[in-house]
A and B are shown apart, each in its own frame.
Chain A
Amino acid sequence: DTEVTQTPKHLVMGMTNKKSLKCEQHMGHRAMYWYKQKAKKPPELMFVYSYEKLSINESVPSRFSPECPNSSLLNLHLHALQPEDSALYLCASTQNQARSTDTQYFGPGTRLTVL
């Protein structure tokens, strides 16, 4: 099973809402990632968890809050977002701790629209 799943597929939220994105993998991977991708742009790294600990935060605003409850699950909690946060949010995982040599397995993404 080389699948990373993400829910929901689509999410529309207002600027005062609180919502969460969920990512799950059952490949036994120990590093998980959140990326943000705007239309016609490459993915931009947001957060990396290695062995369930936050190892990289790419200066992401605090209205995005990641959580890694266990080695298979990664959440992204959203609060007080802005319209410019509308994007495709991608989750990925790698087998070992976050190394740039490892193949990243991506989920299909959550398409987020902030009104």
Chain B
Amino acid sequence: AQSVTQPDIHITVSEGASLELRCNYSYGATPYLFWYVQSPGQGLQLLLKYFSGDTLVQGIKGFEAEFKRSQSSFNLRKPSVHWSDAAEYFCAVGRYETSYDKVIFGPGTSLSVIP
């Protein structure tokens, strides 16, 4: 079955340090991949998405992600983290079921930033 995993439940980094959040997917065809961020008490906001083409995708707020088909991964990176990046991060995959598309979210990674 198609699924999305995020191996890290919680990550803590110092402000200014680099960040990498891991995402692995299981999907037979070429997946549609997304990263969303959710700040406390807020809805989700799209950071970036990948459908095809260049495997390095640039997003908002200085984030980027790299699609690696051989590793079934879509890891999110940021070279220098800001305190405002503390939030919950969800990797997601779009998939087609019997009659409709849906987006499946991974379990999320909670990011804490130390000043």
Show the binding face of A for B, using Cβ within 8 Å.
Answer: 4, 40-43, 45, 48, 55-56, 90, 92, 98-101, 103-109, 111
Q: Would A106 and B43 be within 8 Å (CB), given that A100-B32, A100-B94 are in contact?
A: yes
CB-defined contacts of A40 to chain B, threshold 8 Å: 108, 110
> Are A45 and B102 in contact, CB atoms less than 8 angstroms apart?
yes
Q: Would A41 and B41 be within 8 Å (CB), given that A56-B102, A103-B49 are in contact?
A: no
Q: Would A109 and B42 be within 8 Å (CB), given that A40-B108, A42-B105, A99-B101 are in contact?
A: yes
- Pull 20 A–B residue pairs with CB atoms less than 8 Å apart, ordered by A: A41-B108, A42-B90, A42-B107, A42-B108, A43-B90, A43-B105, A45-B102, A48-B102, A56-B100, A56-B102, A90-B44, A92-B43, A98-B101, A100-B95, A101-B32, A103-B46, A104-B46, A107-B43, A108-B43, A111-B41
Q: How far is the CA of A36 from the CA of B49 in the complex (A)?
A: 22
Q: How far is the CA of A30 from the CA of B70 in the complex (A)?
A: 36
